[in-house]
Chains A and B, each alone.
Chain A
Amino acid sequence: MARLLKTNWVKKSLALILTYAVIQLLISTNILGGYYQDTLVTICINIILAVSLNLITGFTGQFSLGHAGFMSIGAYTCAIVVLRYQTLPSFILGVFLAALTAAIVGFLVGLPTLRLRGDYLAIATLGMAEIIKNVFLNLDKITNGAAGLSGIPQFINWFWLFVFTAGTVLLILNFVNSSHGRACISIREDEIAAEAMGVNTTKYKVIAFIIGAACAGVAGAIYASYFYFIQPTLFGFLKSIDILVIVVFGGLGSISGSVIAAVVLALISTYLQAFSEIRMVLYAVLLVVIMIFRPQGLMGSKEVSLAVLGKLGGLFRDRKERV
């Protein structure tokens, strides 16, 4: 049993189950009330968005400003499915369709634009997101135009929220720690050397883009299902920037950094509600201060591992023994 506890995936599963159980307990005992549950959902959505954008920008080194576009595709896909068939299975199907459509659009957009580098790619992806927004604005019959879709039945609960969030994060974590993920990282490090070492750089840029887009689609689907209402302007340029801020704040190339940053920034913005007039000013000032003192982001490109947590636990025990 002790040996079983030491294997990595058992530890990981235990940590996940524990997180799930604790928050479930807080929700059932109503310590985590309605308002804080909204924050919880926002945090999870932002985790998915930030981790998936980190795959594209932090790991593969492709600067994208169009992540909200993929999110909106997921949101609309799921909303349309769920509005027509209002059952839990169709919601689950809607989430998968959301991922699929976003992935297809990611492929179609990625193939031509990923030939561009740096600033040019940023502008191209920005334009792509604006085009998607305008398509939704003008497809009156399907998307109800600027008025948006409302009355979307709410199927998402803490269980499904946790499953989709943990699922996408684990999937991306697995990816970046596989040989395919290393191929993506080599593109960020030195594209010419990566090519010369046999990495098909175009292929791996597009793969990173597709996986990132699919996950953003899932985030959009969760958003639509929880907040009842979506309209094209919710997924504009500013939303993409919000996601990018989380990624940079957490550290380009660090999954745990993105997760921590999503939580920290959501908490900051929630507690700043008390100062509603100067909330955005304080938020911006905080960001500037943090970036001055930690330009590489909270985590740099490092990861929090369970081993580190174990060490911390060890320190704690030592101290107790000394006392």
Chain B
Amino acid sequence: MPILAVNRLTKYFGGLTAVYNVNMELEEHELVGLIGPNGAGKTTIFNLLTGIHEPSSGTITLARDGKSIALQKLKPHEICNAGVTRTFQNIRLFKDLTVLDNVRIAMHKNIGYGLVSGLFRLPLFGREEKAILEKSAELLNIFNLLDKKDELAKNLSYGDQRRLEIARALATKPVLLLLDEPAAGMNPVETTQLAELICWIREYFKLTILLIEHDMSLVMKICERIYVLNYGLVIAHGTPDEIRTNKQVIEAYLGEDVGNGNA
């Protein structure tokens, strides 16, 4: 059973069809790429998967612990609780909070004390806060951000902000991680490091990853399968090699009649 099954997913914004009849399946532990020209509907699919937009029709099913959960009617925080988290194309950190607080907020859904313990500082509060602090430090250490834990998120370098966003997403303990253009604005060296990091976190956290990316070399190098989107439709899917030679994909990216020389 695939961990994520998207069936005939459609989204209209007024008269505009942003996503039409998209079918997608992700097996557990897979690293899948989602590519397409600008405006193809990639981020809209992420917004549908994470509940920021409600689908016009179609279903999204997450399989977890032998149960299947229908995501299409859930609110964003419920989808996060079900085990799907994301990063954003235009970084959406809590800018005026510290690096540590950014991660701690993402751990909120798993805290073990209630409102009363928090208000009156009961012993449970101290124990749980200590545990959260340790877990956050561990996570930040993985991303080389531990020595910057008391800095405000907005003061981090661009690459650090991107990595903090991934760290924050992982703090929610997801089974499926959606990365929206994580390499945007990075130089080739940073992109290579990011590719290694993505592969490494997949192994370490036992994740399934869906990746939107414009950097073709990155996608071709690390993804096992690729879906290609154009005008809201899936025009091709397959392994990187199959996609590279797919006629429709080349047309979508470079325009028609390339072969005839009169494009």
A residues apposed to B, CB below 8 Å = 171, 174-175, 178-183, 185-186, 189-190, 192-201, 207, 301
Contacts and interface: CB of A to CB of B under 8 A. Distances in A.
Nearest to B94: A189
Nearest to A253: B96
A186 B115 contact: no
Contact of A179 (B80, B95, B132, B168): B132
B136 to A, nearest CB: 11
Contacts of B109: 197-199
Contacts of A200: 75, 77
Interface stretch (B17-25, B99-107, B227-235, B240-248): B99-107
A201 B107 CA distance: 15
B35 to A, nearest CB: 22
B248 to A, nearest CB: 33
A178 B94 contact: no
B121 to A, nearest CB: 6
B95 A178 contact: no
Interface string B124-149: 01001100100000000000000000
Contacts of A199: 77, 105, 108-109
A250 B171 CA distance: 34
B119 A197 contact: no
Nearest to B153: A189
The 7 closest A-B pairs by CB, nearest first: A178-B118, A198-B109, A198-B80, A189-B94, A195-B76, A193-B92, A197-B106
27 contacts: A178-B129, A179-B104, A179-B132, A180-B108, A180-B115, A182-B105, A182-B108, A183-B105, A186-B97, A186-B105, A189-B96, A189-B97, A192-B92, A193-B88, A193-B93, A193-B94, A195-B76, A195-B80, A196-B52, A196-B88, A196-B92, A197-B105, A197-B172, A198-B81, A198-B109, A199-B77, A200-B77
B85 interface: yes
B2 to A, nearest CB: 23
B86 A182 contact: no
A199 B76 CA distance: 9
A198 B118 contact: no
Contact of A175 (B50, B80, B118): B118
A323 B52 CA distance: 65
A301 B96 contact: yes
Nearest to B82: A198
Interface residues of B, number: 39
A195 B94 CA distance: 12
Interface of B: 50-52, 75-77, 80-81, 85-86, 88, 92-97, 101, 104-109, 111, 113, 115, 118-121, 125, 128-129, 132, 168-169, 171-172
Given A179-B132, A198-B81, A190 B118 contact: no
A175 B93 contact: no
A174 B128 CA distance: 14
A280 B108 CA distance: 46
Contacts of B92: 190, 192-193, 196
Nearest to A175: B119
A192 B119 CA distance: 26
A250 B51 CA distance: 38
Contact of B77 (A175, A189, A195): A195
B170 to A, nearest CB: 11
A111 B174 CA distance: 30
Contacts of B88: 193, 196
Nearest to A190: B92
B110 to A, nearest CB: 8
Given A174-B120, A174-B121, A198-B81, A179 B94 contact: no
Contact of B105 (A171, A192, A194, A207): A194
Contacts of B81: 198
Contacts of B125: 178
A171 B169 CA distance: 30
